[in-house]
């Protein structure tokens, strides 16, 4: 062996040693676990070109899984090279790299990472953007999510019978019909109260999810599970903000609530993002059992604006934050703790619900 060969061998050994020292990212699409899920962290709205100190707080909570709720980057482009480069900026964030090495990261998208502000079905690059998204989050080449001619919705079901957690990630972009705006004069008046420009769209063409996603969702809700976390990028229960949320499509929102009733699905709660503040909402009227929403936004970007929501419970939080759901399975009636935590990992807002409270009344079961 000459000097050059020995040097080459030495360098190869160094590279191999470095590979073994650097922990591999946890796969985003793990096999279902029979261990009960106890801690799920989530968040939204992360500017890829800004510092992201929040990740160390997320890691400190030792979640079983982190859910990206959308606006995971601010892509805002039809140029896929630009979109890939922006994902790469997220991928290079030191805190995010540590998160990837410590827990599973799963994701859905919202408008900015989809590619266009407040965009829907009309976005011309949605298929290409989907490929970039799935590549970044490590979706296998043969996954249903990748192969279907449709959105990126997907589900995870983990835990043993009696302690199963179903996580449903919806896609609110792929099939969404156009939003309806109020007049400029009305919007000018609304802005005084931080209310946005959108109002309800109804009729046969008003659509948030496509029929393929509705069929998939019905089948998923019929699968047995004790806790079902529905992740939707935009708020589900909030009412009166005028910004993007399910109330802009009231028939679609009612359809989902009716689907929960028809399938007899207990244990549902919603986690949502997009709003650049954090809060809880709760509905008790016209629903089979109290419906809760934990809205966490943003990981890096927030506005101190008291946007109205008639179903808000408690205050709003307007500094960087993430959400946490902790399930205490050891209690005879399991407790679900819903939390908002800040960049120091301090608990800034919380609500607790018992699993028995999230069940169908026997009359409609």
Contacts with Fe ion, residue ranges (CB under 5 A)? 71, 110-111, 274
Shortest reach from residue 69's CB to Fe ion, in Å: 9
- Whole-number minimum distance, CB 108 to Fe ion, in Å? 11
For residues 64 and 274, which CB has a smaller minimum distance to Fe ion in the complex? Answer: 274
Shortest reach from residue 277's CB to Fe ion, in Å: 13
Q: State in angstroms the smallest separation of the CB of 208 from Fe ion.
A: 14
Burial of 112 (0-12, 13-18, 19+ CB in 10 A): buried
Contact 266, 289 (CB under 8 A): yes
267 in Cβ contact with 279 (< 8 Å): no
* Residue with smaller CB distance to Fe ion, 213 or 272: 272
> In the chain, what is the straight-line distance between the N-terminal and C-terminal CA atoms, in Å?
77
Which residues, in sequence order, are bridge partners of residue 180?
199
**Cβ closest to Fe ion, residue 110 vs residue 158:** 110
Nearest to 207 by CA among 229, 174, 232: 174
Q: Which residue is nearest to Fe ion (CB)?
A: 110
Neighbouring CB atoms inside 10 A of 107's CB total: 21
For the bound state, the minimum distance from the C-beta of residue 357 to Fe ion, rounded and expressed in Å, comes to: 30
Would you tell me how many other CB atoms lie within 10 Å of the CB of residue 270?
23
Name beta bridge partners: 64: none
Choice between 110 and 339, CB closer to Fe ion:
110
Q: Do residues 146 and 140 make contact, with C-beta atoms less than 8 angstroms apart?
A: yes
């Amino acid at each position: 062996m000459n000097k050059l060969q020995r040097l080459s061998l030495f360098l190869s050994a160094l590279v191999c040693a470095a590979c073994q020292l650097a922990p591999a990212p946890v796969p985003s699409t793990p096999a279902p676990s029979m261990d009960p899920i106890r801690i799920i962290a989530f968040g939204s709205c992360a500017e890829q070109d800004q510092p992201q100190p929040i990740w160390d707080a997320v890691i400190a909570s030792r979640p079983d899984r982190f859910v990206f709720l959308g606006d995971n980057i601010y892509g805002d482009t039809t140029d896929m090279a630009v979109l890939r480069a922006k994902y790469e900026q997220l991928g290079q964030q030191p805190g995010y790299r540590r998160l990837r090495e410590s827990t599973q990261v799963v994701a859905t998208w919202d408008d900015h990472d989809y590619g266009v502000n407040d965009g829907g079905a009309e976005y011309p690059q949605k298929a290409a953007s989907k490929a970039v998204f799935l590549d970044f989050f490590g979706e296998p080449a043969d996954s249903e999510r990748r192969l279907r001619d449709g959105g990126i919705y997907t589900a995870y079901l983990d835990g043993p019978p009696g302690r199963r957690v179903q996580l449903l990630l919806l896609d609110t972009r792929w099939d969404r019909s156009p939003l309806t705006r109020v007049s400029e004069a009305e919007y000018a008046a609304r802005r005084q109260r931080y209310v946005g420009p959108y109002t309800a769209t109804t009729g046969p063409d008003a659509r948030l999810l496509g029929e393929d996603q509705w069929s998939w969702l019905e089948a998923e809700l019929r699968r047995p599970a004790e806790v079902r976390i529905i992740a939707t990028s935009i708020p589900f229960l909030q009412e009166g903000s005028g910004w993007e949320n399910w109330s802009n499509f009231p028939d679609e929102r009612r359809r989902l609530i009716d689907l929960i009733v028809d399938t007899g699905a207990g244990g549902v709660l919603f986690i949502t993002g997009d709003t650049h503040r954090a809060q809880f909402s709760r509905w008790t009227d016209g629903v089979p059992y109290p419906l809760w929403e934990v809205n966490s936004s943003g990981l890096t970007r927030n506005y101190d604006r008291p946007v109205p929501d008639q179903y808000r419970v408690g205050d709003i939080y307007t500094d960087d934050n993430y959400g946490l759901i902790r399930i205490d399975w050891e209690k005879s009636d399991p407790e679900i703790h819903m939390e908002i935590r800040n960049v120091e990992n301090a608990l800034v807002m919380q609500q607790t619900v018992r699993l028995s409270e999230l069940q169908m009344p026997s009359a409609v079961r």
